[in-house]
Structure 1
C-alpha cells in the first residue's frame, strides 16, 4: 500500500519524493530535495510495482523531528504562522487545481495577485508545505533548531534491545528501532556497495547508508553536501553489523566482491572428489602442462643456457598413475600435448631405454587410450582434437578458464615434481624475485634436456609406487589388502572394476592427433604451403591430369615437412606423400621456416613492385623519346622516294647494303690494342663503297663465282 506523506528514495539516483495526494488511480508527489518542487503524478499501480520490485525504498521522513515550542524564537513563530495562514486561507481551497499541471500557473498568479506578492513567493511557500510534511511546523524557516513535526513512526516509542551506554552532553541517546523499512535499506546498501569489486569495507557501507538515508542535503558553492542527522535518529553501526550477519551470504559475497572463479577455486565446499566420476582405470585421464622451475643447458654446448623446459603429464584419475609424459621445448601448445598423448600409448620399457633407464613392464604398465580426457581449453579446443573425438571415440572435457583445481590430481603432481627439482637440481629457480647481490641461479644450469627427462622419469617411477595420502579407499580394496599406491590401484582396478582401457596402433594415434589442413591438387602435384608433393595413389588415379579433386584434407607434422599424409575416411589408414623434386630444397626445414621464407619472398616482391612501376614509366618515356627522335630525323631527310612502289622494291637491296656496313662495324678484331691503335681508322663511305664493289665486280675474272655468292647471300637473307 501507498500512503499520503510517505517518503520514498530512488535506488537508481537517490532522488527522494513525498506522496502528497492519492486520487482515484493516480498518485501525486514532489521532490523533497529541490529548491522548489511542483507536484507530478504517476499511476498508482505503476509506483506500487516499482516499490515491490525495490526500485523505490521507503525511508524515514527527513523532516520528522520533534520541535519544542518553547525553544522557538518569536521571529520563527511569526514566519511560521504567517505562511501557514497563507496556505490555509488561499491555497487549500484551490488544492485540486494546484495539483494539476494544466492551469496551475494561472491559479498561482491569481493567488499572488490576491496576496500582493510574486508568483515565485507563492511557489516557495507551496513547495515548503508539500516537501516538509504538510503540517504547521513544515513552514518553519531553516534555522539551526528548526524542524517539522511529521510522522515519527516508531521514533517516539522506547527503543528495544540493548540500551546504548554512550552519553552525549550528559544525556543517553537511545537510538532507533530497526524496522522492516530500515532492513530494506540495509539490504539495498549491501547489494549496492558491499557486493561490488570495489571491496568497500562494512564501515564504508555503513557510512554510505547514513549519507543516502539519514542526512540532510544542501548545496554549498554549487556542490551537493550532506549533514548527518543526530545520533538518536540514525541506526548504529552495531545494529547494521547485526543485520548484516543476518543477511550474509558467503557465496554471493565472494562471487560479487571477487569473482565466481575465485569462489569455485578457493572457497567452494569440498563435498566430493575426482574419483567419484570414475568406475575404474581408463575412465578419465587428466592432462596438463607446466614450465619446470629449472634452467637447462644445450646438449651440444654446456656453456649455452637454453631456458626452462615444458613438462606434460597424463594421469589416470582412478589410480593416480602417470600414464604419459613429455619433456621438451614445445608448448604449452598442441604439439606438446600431442607428444604427451603419443607417449601415453607408447611401450614404457622402450621409452625408458632411450634414456638409459632399465625397467620391466610391471613397473610402468600403461599404454592405453582412455574414455575421457580432461584438459585445458587452450590446447584441446580446436580442430586438432577432431580425430580423437570422431575416429578414436575419446571424449574431451575442457575445463573453464583459471580452474586448475578441476585437474587437481595432475596439478598437485606438478607441485611435487617442482619441489623435488628445487631441492636437488642445479639451475633450479629458488625464489621468484632475486634481491640485489643474490647469485643468479640461471648461471648454475647444468642439466641438458635428456638428463632432465631422465630425472622426471625417475620421479614418475617413484610416484607410481608411492602411497597416496587420503585416497578414498573402497571396502573391497581393504578386504583384498591393497596398499593405495598407483601401481596397486591400477592393477586392482583392471581386475575388479570395469574401466575403459583400450589399445591402439601408435601410427594410427599419430595420424589422428597430427594437425589437419587442406592441400590443393594441380597439374604440378599436391600443393601444400607452396610445396609440391606426390603419391603413388595420385599417379595411379591420374589426379594431376583429371583434377578430379581440387582440394583434399591432409595431416602433417610441422616439425618435418618431408612427408604429408592423406587419411582415409575412417581415420585408420593413410596414404604417404613425399616431396617432389622442385621442393626438395626444403626437405630439412621446419614448416614455420618454409612459411617464413615464402612470406619474406612475397614481401620482397611487393616492395620491388613499387620500384617496377617507376621503371616501367621510365622505359616508356625513353621509348617514346627514341621514336620521336627517329620521326624528326626522317622528316629532315633530303632524299625521299618519289613513289611508294620505288620505296617497297628497294627493301631487299637496302637490307644487303645495310648488312655489309653492319658487318664491318660488328666484326671481331683479336689483335692487341697496340697494333690496333697503329692501324689507321677506316671511314666507310656507303656511296663510294658501293661504286668500288661494282668496279671490282666488272674487273673480276670469275663472274660465275660472284653470282653464286650473291645468290647465297640472298638465300641466307630469306632465311633470316
Structure 2
C-alpha cells in the first residue's frame, strides 16, 4: 500500500544510501497484437475500475486511514468483492500506474520451461489414434538417457545415419527381445504400448539437440567453420586504411594452355597468384605461371606487389598510366595459406621490413574470402571466353575434349589476366560498407577510388621499397652451406666466393656451415646475406660443378638421385665381381699349393735353395723371352717333318758347375715347352 513520506526524509536516506536506485522489475513493453483476447479483455475490465476509482478517490486512496472505506465504495459501485478491488489497485500501484500494469500473468502459468515429474503408471499426452492400443509410455529420465545414448553412439558419427535409423537402433537396443534363428541373431520389437513412438523420440531430440555439435561430429569442425558458422562481421572492419592487410592466394586457372614454341603442344593449366588489399579491394600484385602453388609462386606474386605496374604492363605491350594501377607497396600484414608461407623466408620479411605474416588454418579459404571471391570472378570470365577452358557441366559422352581447343600460350593468357585486373580495379563493389565520410563526399565504391580516398584520409600503412633486389634477397629460400677445401658446398654443388678466398675461409672456417640464399630456378650462383639484411655476397659455380650450369634445382636433384640409383644398381654387381675374383684367386693358390706338395722333393738344402734364386730367375727370364718375343714374319703352316737321329755327344766335364746348372734348367724348360716331360 502507498504511504506518505516527507521529501526531505527521502533525500537524506538516498544520500546516506539507505535507499539505492534499482531497475524497475515490472517495466515491460507489450504490443496488443502479441496479447491474447483473454488478456486484453481482463486488462480492460480492471482498467475501467481503476480509472474510475483513481479519478474519484485519489486523495482518499492515498490516505491510510480512509483507504479501506474507499475500497468499499468502489466495490459496491462495480458489484465485486472488496478484496478483489484491493488486489487490482495493488497491482496498479506496484507495476507502474499504467494500463498494462493490470495484465494477468498468464506467461508464468503452466510451469513453462519446467519439466513435469512423470510416473510410469499414468500416461500423459493425447491418446494414440492409429494403433491397436491407446496407451503408450511416458518419457521419463531413464528413457531420455536411452535417447541420449543412441544419439551419441549412432547419430553423431561420420557415417551420418539418419534420425530414423537412430530410432531403429534405439528399439533394437532397449525395446526388443533377442533370439537365435539358425546361425543368426534376430530381434523381436515389443508391442506399441511398451515402446516410445518416433514422434516422441523426435520431439525430445529437437528439444535437447545441439546443432553445432551434431554438425561437427557428423561432418567436421573445418566444414562447420567454412560453411555453417555465423557470419557476423566482414574483413573490412579489421582494417583502417589501405595497406593494413593484404590477402594472398593461388588458384589453378580453368583453362589449358599451349607451348610458346609449338602451339600443338598442350602444357596444362597455369597457376594464378593474386594479392589484394582488404580495405579497398585493389589487386596489388599478380603472378601467372607454372610455379606452384608453392613458395616460388608466392614469392613471384610478392615481388610483383612492389613492382611499378606501368613498367610491368609495358613488358606485355599494355600501356597504362600510374592512376590505373597505383599499387607498388608493402603492407603491414599479409594473410596467406599455411602451405606457402609457413617457413621459407618469412622471418626475413618480418625482421627486415616489419611485415607481419598471418597464416590461415588449413582448409579455411573463407578466411581469405575477398581474394577467393575475385578468383571466382576471374575464372568465370575466362571460362566463358577462352578456348581450352574447362566446361565439365556441358560435356557429354562423345563430345569433343575441350583440352584439344587450347590455343593461348602463357604470355597471351597473362595479358588477359592483366586486362581483367585493370577492369576489376575500376569496377563498382556491390555491398561495400561505405563510411559516412565517403557517403558525404559521394564516393563511388571502386577499388581505385577507395584506395586513393584511404591514402588521403586514413592512416599510412603502405611501405615503398627503394631496392627491389633487397626485397628479393629476403624473399628467396634459405639453406645451409658448408665450407670445405673444395669450395662452398651446397646441394651437392661447389661454389666459390671472392670474399671467401680473400679472407681464407677455406683454411680458417673449414667444415663450418653458413646461411645462404638461393633461387631454385637458377643454381648458377648463391648469395650470402649480410647480418643487416640489406647487402649480400655472390658465390659462383666452380668448374668442378660446371656440368650443372643453367639447371634448375629440381633437375640437379634429379641427376643426383639418378646417380645414386645407378650406384645402388651397380653395388650388387660390384660385390658379385669381388666375390668371384676372390674365389678365382683362392682357386689358383689352392691348385699351386697342391702341385707344390705333389712335386718330387729334391735332396737340396735350404741354403742351396736360397742361393739359386738368381740362377732360377735368369733361367725363367730366358724362357719367358722366347714366349714373349715379337715375331712379325708370316708364319707358315706347319708340315710333318722327317725325324733325323743324331749321335749324342758327351758333355765335357770341364763345364763350370754354375753354367751346368743353368744349362740343365734351360734344357729342362725347353723340353717341357716341347712336350718331352709330362
TM-score, reference length from structure 2: 0.70
Task: Indicate yes or no: 2:487 matched with 1:512.
Answer: no
Task: Indicate yes or no: 2:311 matched with 1:311.
Answer: no
Shift of 1:194: 3.0
> Would you say the 8 A contact 1:524–1:532 is kept in 2?
yes
Task: Indicate yes or no: 2:425 matched with 1:464.
Answer: yes
**Secondary structure of 2:261 counterpart:** coil
> Would you say the 8 A contact 2:118–2:140 is kept in 1?
no
Alignment of 1:701-716 (within 5 A): none
Distance in 1, Cα, partners of 2:230 & 2:558: 51
Distance in 1, Cα, partners of 2:124 & 2:131: 16
Shift of 1:603: 2.2
Shift of 1:548: 4.5
**Secondary structure of 2:338 counterpart:** coil
> Would you say the 8 A contact 1:173–1:231 is kept in 2?
no
Shift of 1:462: 0.6
CA-to-aligned-CA distance 1:627-677 (integer Å, 9 cap, x gap): 556666777889979666666666667767766665665555556x47999
Task: Indicate yes or no: 2:520 matched with 1:558.
Answer: yes
**Secondary structure of 1:456 counterpart:** helix
1:534 aligns with: 496
2:401 aligns with: 440
TM-score, reference length from structure 1: 0.67
> Would you say the 8 A contact 1:287–1:315 is kept in 2?
yes
Distance in 1, Cα, partners of 2:355 & 2:537: 24
Distance in 2, Cα, partners of 1:298 & 1:574: 36
CA-to-aligned-CA distance 1:101-147 (integer Å, 9 cap, x gap): xxxxxxxxxxxxxxxxxxxxxxxxxxxxxxxxxxxxxxxxxxxxxxx
Task: Indicate yes or no: 2:115 matched with 1:154.
Answer: no
Alignment of 1:574-653 (within 5 A): 574-627=536-589
Distance in 2, Cα, partners of 1:589 & 1:337: 21
Residues 655 and 405 of structure 1: CA distance in aligned 2, closer, same or farther (over 3 Å): same
Shift of 1:392: 3.1
Which 10-residue stretch deviates more, 175-184 or 523-532? 175-184
> Would you say the 8 A contact 2:517–2:528 is kept in 1?
yes
Alignment of 1:54-203 (within 5 A): 154-157=119-122, 159-160=124-125, 162-166=126-130, 168=132, 173-203=134-164
**Secondary structure of 2:248 counterpart:** strand
Distance in 2, Cα, partners of 1:422 & 1:448: 16
> Would you say the 8 A contact 2:295–2:344 is kept in 1?
no
2:383 aligns with: 422
Residues 484 and 581 of structure 1: CA distance in aligned 2, closer, same or farther (over 3 Å): same
**Secondary structure of 2:119 counterpart:** helix
CA-to-aligned-CA distance 1:171-230 (integer Å, 9 cap, x gap): x715444445544544444444333333233333333444444x3534344866554444
2:363 aligns with: 402
Residues 652 and 455 of structure 1: CA distance in aligned 2, closer, same or farther (over 3 Å): same
Residues 664 and 474 of structure 1: CA distance in aligned 2, closer, same or farther (over 3 Å): same
Which 10-residue stretch deviates more, 491-500 or 312-321? 491-500
Task: Indicate yes or no: 2:265 matched with 1:301.
Answer: no
CA-to-aligned-CA distance 1:320-378 (integer Å, 9 cap, x gap): 11111111111111221121111111221221112111111221111222222211221
Distance in 1, Cα, partners of 2:455 & 2:630: 94
2:102 aligns with: none
Distance in 1, Cα, partners of 2:407 & 2:221: 43
Distance in 2, Cα, partners of 1:624 & 1:164: 101
Task: Indicate yes or no: 2:206 matched with 1:245.
Answer: yes
Residues 534 and 254 of structure 1: CA distance in aligned 2, closer, same or farther (over 3 Å): same
Task: Indicate yes or no: 2:354 matched with 1:393.
Answer: yes
Residues 432 and 392 of structure 1: CA distance in aligned 2, closer, same or farther (over 3 Å): farther
Distance in 1, Cα, partners of 2:472 & 2:118: 79
1:62 aligns with: none
> Would you say the 8 A contact 1:322–1:464 is kept in 2?
yes
CA-to-aligned-CA distance 1:372-393 (integer Å, 9 cap, x gap): 2211221222344333334333
2:333 aligns with: 372
Distance in 2, Cα, partners of 1:190 & 1:627: 84
Residues 432 and 376 of structure 1: CA distance in aligned 2, closer, same or farther (over 3 Å): farther
> Would you say the 8 A contact 1:543–1:549 is kept in 2?
no
Q: 1:571 aligns with which of 512, 533, 536?
A: 533
Distance in 1, Cα, partners of 2:305 & 2:554: 27
Distance in 1, Cα, partners of 2:122 & 2:307: 83
Q: 2:215 aligns with which of 245, 248, 254?
A: 254
Distance in 2, Cα, partners of 1:549 & 1:375: 38
Which 10-residue stretch deviates more, 543-552 or 223-232? 223-232
Shift of 1:449: 0.6
Distance in 1, Cα, partners of 2:202 & 2:577: 83
> Would you say the 8 A contact 2:383–2:391 is kept in 1?
yes
**Secondary structure of 1:391 counterpart:** helix
> Would you say the 8 A contact 2:257–2:410 is kept in 1?
yes
**Secondary structure of 1:466 counterpart:** coil
Distance in 2, Cα, partners of 1:421 & 1:174: 66
Corresponding pairs, count = 526
> Would you say the 8 A contact 1:370–1:501 is kept in 2?
yes
Structure 1: gaps of 5 or more residues: 1-151, 681-690, 695-720
> Would you say the 8 A contact 1:176–1:235 is kept in 2?
yes
**Secondary structure of 2:327 counterpart:** coil
> Would you say the 8 A contact 2:284–2:327 is kept in 1?
yes
